[in-house]
Amino acid sequence: MRISIAFDGSFEVFDVSADETVEAIKLMIREEDKPTLYVFNAVTKETMPIMESMSLLDKQVSDLRTTLSLRCGFPLSVFCLRTPKGLEMYDCNTLRSYQTNIGTTLRLDVWDGWKEFLMGCLLGQKLKVQRYLSNEAPVLKYQKRVALYIAAFYGHIELTEWALKQGVRPNEAVGVHPYRVWCHEALHADVSKCPIHAAAEAGQLLILKAFVHYSVLCLECKNAAGQTPLTIASKHKHKDCVLYLLGKMWSTVSFLKISLPMRIYIKIKQWVLRAQSHSLHKRQFRGTRVFGAKVGDTVMVDGYTKPKMTSKSWHKAGNKDSQISEDKLLPLREPAASRKPVHPLVTPEQDTRRQTLKFPLLVDANTVSELQRQQQNQKSVTSGKKENFIKNTYLPQVPLPLVSRVGYSHPSFYYATPGADILLRSSFSVFSEHSGRTPRENAIYCLAVAR
């Protein structure tokens, strides 16, 4: 049974048996030493006690960050540590060089605008993660790797499936933020950790199975210390993960006429992928290998540029939420009494206060009656003059298709009652006789009046 005991703003987890007495638990707590340090997580708003020996203060900041990464599940490249006065702590320095004493509370800060994104990753909320993704292509690609890493650490299946569909590989290193790619030589060694390593450290068996099913290369993926997922799972005593990885490593891959041990198959596949990658890289860069940032990229220089890892929220970091901006109402510039009504079909850019709408002229009823009377008086006019009369200037030129002279037969129409086609043709004849127009001329006339 696992219990949590909180005291003085911090808490500690103990594994006890169900038959333990309260007195025994008290003695267990009394024997526990006080935390050496406290670290406040700006994302979760929790304070984590660091139960280490006094020698921790003589170690480098990089060692403490490695411990924190295993505690909170964040990749090393997404957070930094700060002193109580807000001074950033760099990996190459010791904790004592920042005047860190026993009981000091440090602060864990993340990239500006990332708090909501990281909280979505911790909770496995795919929609929240998608909402707070960056618009910059390099940063977006990096965020997807971070999302897969955290999902693998906490065992979020849905978020893991989404990241894999986005093209993120479980045996691909998370790396660093694009703003810091230029200083790759001074980076922490654990930035080369992959999501498969995070799943092995946390003992997430289902995630391990999904990763191995995605690519068997995950079985031989090594971290900076040269450890495979099997070695990592064995180190953290995850028995079920160890048994699964052992079974996969000693299995065989069968083809039509040959079967290969998994180790040999992985080595062949790695060799083929390296050859393909080298050939592609040679075609793209003509043998010149590019490291770090390129011209036009944004870079962050420690101690010179403005810090961008202060845990600012999405909105305070200058990001705009597209869903909120689309629903935002336009500001009112005039009192309601002095504004003119806007036509419902007019877009905001076509405001009636700035532009005058021009509608097509309409033909009134008197004009239509006069035109009909004139047309009836012109029945004796020849066909040439009658065509000129139809094309008068008061009617717009309607682009109807030309009359086809091809002698094909149209499909027959079927009606509910017999003899309806004869009645329809007779109706058209009576209408043409009284109106003085052919069906085509009447179509032109009706479209002109409608416009």
Q: What is the pLDDT along the chain (451 residues), one digit of tens a residue?
A: 777 777 666 667 777 777 778 877 776 665 556 888 999 999 999 999 998 877 888 899 999 999 999 999 999 999 999 999 999 999 889 999 999 998 999 999 999 999 999 999 999 999 999 999 999 999 999 999 999 999 999 999 999 999 999 999 999 999 999 888 777 667 888 899 999 999 999 999 999 999 999 999 999 999 999 999 999 999 999 999 999 999 999 998 888 888 889 999 999 998 988 888 777 666 655 544 455 556 767 777 776 778 888 999 988 887 765 433 434 444 555 444 444 444 444 444 444 444 454 545 555 555 556 666 666 666 555 445 444 444 444 444 555 555 555 554 545 444 444 554 554 555 555 555 666 778 788 888 888 877 6
C-alpha span between 400 and 440 (Å, rounded): 9
The candidate with the shortest Cα–Cα distance to 194, out of 213, 220, 156, 158, is: 220
Contact 41, 108 (CB under 8 A): yes
The candidate with the shortest Cα–Cα distance to 432, out of 420, 421, 419, 445, is: 445
The candidate with the shortest Cα–Cα distance to 29, out of 3, 55, 56, 68, is: 3
Q: What one-character DSSP code corresponds to residue 192?
A: G
C-alpha span between 170 and 152 (Å, rounded): 9
Alpha helix (H) ranges present in 40-92? 61-72
The candidate with the shortest Cα–Cα distance to 129, out of 108, 110, 145, is: 145
Output the pLDDT for position 297: 72
Asked whether the whole model's pTM tops 0.85, one would answer no
Strands 46-50, 252-254: pairing kind: unpaired
HSE at residue 450, side-chain half, CA atoms within 13 A, is: 8
Go through the domains of the chain in sequence order and give each one's CATH number. Answer: 33-110 (3.10.20.90), 112-333 (1.25.40.20), 365-450 (no CATH)
Output the pLDDT for position 441: 82
Residue 120 CB contacts under 8 Å (≥ 6 apart), including other chains: 126, 127, 128, 129, 131, 132
